[in-house]
Structure 1
Amino acid sequence: MRLVTWNINSVRLRIASVQRFLEEEQPDVLCLQETKCHDDQFPRKAFEKVGYPHLAISGQKGYHGVAIASRVPFEDPDPMGFCKNGDARHIAVTLPGGVRLHNFYVPAGGDIPDPQANDKFAHKLHFVEQMTKTFAKNKDQPRIVVGDLNIAPEENDVWSHKQLLKVVSHTPVETEAMKQLIRRGGFIDVARELIPGDEKVYSWWSYRAKDWAASDRGRRLDHIWVTEPLRMAALAKGREAFRVHRDVRGWERPSDHAPVRLDLDFSA
């Protein structure tokens, strides 16, 4: 199964790029974040046209929003509420074989890394805490978590560890919260399982850079995790099974995130 996660930063604005990517890469399942439209505004026909008729959507007008598009049927679509504020930041489905897939858009957290001075940062930490409590239960189930989790947890998940220690997405309080989520949830961070820790890996590059590719000041904010029962399926095909589609960041009118892909082998 080819699985892709992508913060699209408005699915309607970039639907041509989504269709192009689906036609070129042929993933079985595409998880989108920051779709920025209500459910009835989601471009369903565009997905159906390129062979993705199975859709699970949790939308919100103008903000947030997540969706799962699939070539194969799934069951039990369910958006979970986190922090009780009504944000559309999660959708889950059950894939063939009983694998539960969770698609998240974690709050970015604003600019000030202080929960006392910044409500957005406090919201982010609370959100991750709730994720941890949720996934600490039944952690031996076959489960996949993907999405824009808005935290780059390792030193080489950012262009400069030292310079970003006080920048939201790489502060110690965030990275430790994510590592605790991984530990307590029984997750395997697939990217770092397949790619050496001393190698830089990014999935996001700021719009602010005049030449994002030349400056290459990226962060790994987009993740694919699996629980232990899926270890072999996720790792069987080796490093080539995992890819950040950096080239897509250079397409016309791009999202600031690149799609992240994993090929799972359930026969392993």
Structure 2
Amino acid sequence: MNLVIYADFSGPECYLASRRADAIAAAAAVDWRAVEQYPRRPVSGVPVSESEQLPARLAALEQLLLPREQLPWRLPTVVPKTQAAVSAYAEAHGTRVDAEVRRLLFDLYWRDGADIGSPTVLRTPLTGPMLRSGADADPLRQFGYAVGPHREPITTGAHRRIQAWRGQWQQLGGAELPVVLVDGATLTGLDAVRRLGKEIARLGVDVAPVLADPLRYPALDGNPPLSWVSQIGGEWLHRYRIGAPS
């Protein structure tokens, strides 16, 4: 099965799609492609208004849940500009932590109420997974950076990835998110979410898999580089400050 999903991070339908993608990933490859649905949204986001109909949309999604499936959420007060989140995911895409970063970004917004439009807010939670990513670029590999100060990606490769994903989504008519491409079919919105549920049933995978904490840092082997310690800290920071025992 060739499964491709286009989604933003601020839509509840995309949130459920992400959780279903985690279940499907146990048996099939999932190519998740992030797009910023509303790039002209103010950098500070916009207050949640009645026009978003978030309570009704979340209630509708809960009616679609499979047995044992959960959709934990707290109603956000702000709809963020998701450029920073898309940039972070684009940096992680293709690495060993891309699914973890995707899940982390959704959880930060839908469960913790964090402003995922702020690079400052994303800096700390993304450090652990980016240090584990295996990425080649020094800012990612050494310091865990994934987003620039102006919400842009760190590397040219991630920038090109974002542009390609957006172009592909626009070629689909800028369809309602999420968009699922599977077996030659294109499904959008709630139809896409329903199809992912059918794939879970067809594959017979666990709808609520136990997943590792995406916030975790890489295991330390010996003393890490001083540059890492000075930027990140961790358990080695105090040891470097006081010096080696005599």
TM-score, structure 1 as length reference: 0.25
Larger Rg: 2
More helix by share: 2
Looking at both structures, which has the greater relative contact order when contacts are Cα pairs under 8 Å and sequence separation is at least 6? 2
More strand by share: 1
